[in-house]
Structure 1
Amino acid sequence: MYAVQWDGNELDALRTLLNQWADPLYLSRFYQEHSRDMPRQWNLVEFVDQVAREHDEIEMLLTGASELETLGLETFFVPLFNEEYQIKPRALRKGRTGFRRSILRVYAIRIDTDCYLISGGAIKLTRTMQEAPHTLLELRKLYRLADYLKDQGVDTQYDFASFLSFKSLE
């Protein structure tokens, strides 16, 4: 598993997400900015509690502090679009917890079996990514990353390893 470090960011996409989701000030601002999309029964405390529970599970899953090694990333990352039934190169994926009303998402490109490149993530409160500006931005980042990998000829984990080796020489 790898994570993109977008231009202008000190941290990679996964570390940025985990830090934001653990920051009470960030979550408070997010709650206020997106209050119209929140489930009606949630107040700020319930929202922060939900994010904290999901954050902890995602952090354990993705930092190796769980049984993910035996289960594989394939169990966490599922097709971004529910209508996708065929695995193809640079497939768009989402990762989320098993909570009933899971709101945290980690977005990635599936390069090969158990080989993922994380592009970012979001607190998803709307039915589709296109309904909110912050999730639409994440969708665009996913497409941009998939196009970039295609332009670089990355179709398998071996292509990706070669690509990373070449990038480290630059």
Structure 2
Amino acid sequence: MEVVSIFAENLYSFRYDGETENEYDRMMDLWTDTEYLREYAIQNDVADVYGFIEDISRCAEVVQDFLEDIIHSRDDLELYFEALQESERKRVTLSLQKGKIRRNKLRLYAVKIDSNCFVITGGAIKMSQRMDEHPDTEMELKKLNAAREYFRSNGVFDEDSFFELLIEN
């Protein structure tokens, strides 16, 4: 598992063992791949497959543009990421986060390292209200918890210790 920079010193992503792409790039590729989206729609009993493909592709562009706008305008990434659960709001560091844009079915999941510093662990198409109600989001929750444990076991507790970990690896 490796942490790679996506945008400057604020947004990072995991590249998992055996993968060629980091999770941010991997998700964006999947969310714009019409064949993948068609198969996904069929597997999830989506009534309007072609409408679903168009909607998800548009949502992927919106997420990408939104994040790029935040980074280029030097706004806080907390405009996009929010606590996954109410209990995570109290955490200053290593809180579990979801990227959310109103009326967008796509979620990027991340661990908040410190103020305005996040590491993406994966993403999913929102197909249910709760994460434990769909296999994809349930898997993303496991990845989030594993990522937090990875950081804890490597002594990450704030932005400084995070950058020390990056230098060591």
The normalised TM-score by structure 1 is 0.87
Q: What's 1:130 paired with? A: 132
Unaligned runs of 5+ in 1: none
Q: Which region of structure 1 is more displaced relative to structure 2, 21-30 or 88-97?
A: 88-97
Identity percentage of aligned residues: 28
Larger strand proportion of the pair: 2
- Contact in 2 for aligned 1:2/1:117 (Cα 8 Å): yes
The correspondence of residues 14-33 of structure 1 with structure 2, limited to 5 A, is 14-33=24-43
Q: What's 1:121 paired with? A: 123
Q: What's 1:4 paired with? A: 14
- Contact in 1 for aligned 2:15/2:22 (Cα 8 Å): yes
The correspondence of residues 25-104 of structure 1 with structure 2, limited to 5 A, is 25-35=35-45, 38=46, 43-62=48-67, 64=68, 66-68=69-71, 69-82=73-86, 84-99=88-103, 102-104=104-106
Structure 1 CA distance for aligned equivalents of residues 166 and 70 of structure 2? 27
1:84 to partner: Cα distance: 4.1
Number of corresponding residues: 158
Structure 2 CA distance for aligned equivalents of residues 142 and 113 of structure 1? 18
Larger relative contact order, structure 1 or 2 (CA cutoff 8 Å, min sep 6): 1
Structure 2 CA distance for aligned equivalents of residues 126 and 83 of structure 1? 21
- Contact in 2 for aligned 1:54/1:97 (Cα 8 Å): no
Residue type at the aligned position of 1:92: L
**Cα 1:166–1:18 shift into 2, 3 Å:** same
Residue type at the aligned position of 1:126: S
CA RMSD of aligned residues (A): 1.4
**Cα 1:24–1:117 shift into 2, 3 Å:** same
Q: What's 1:148 paired with? A: 150
Q: What's 2:5 paired with? A: none
Structure 2 CA distance for aligned equivalents of residues 30 and 18 of structure 1? 15
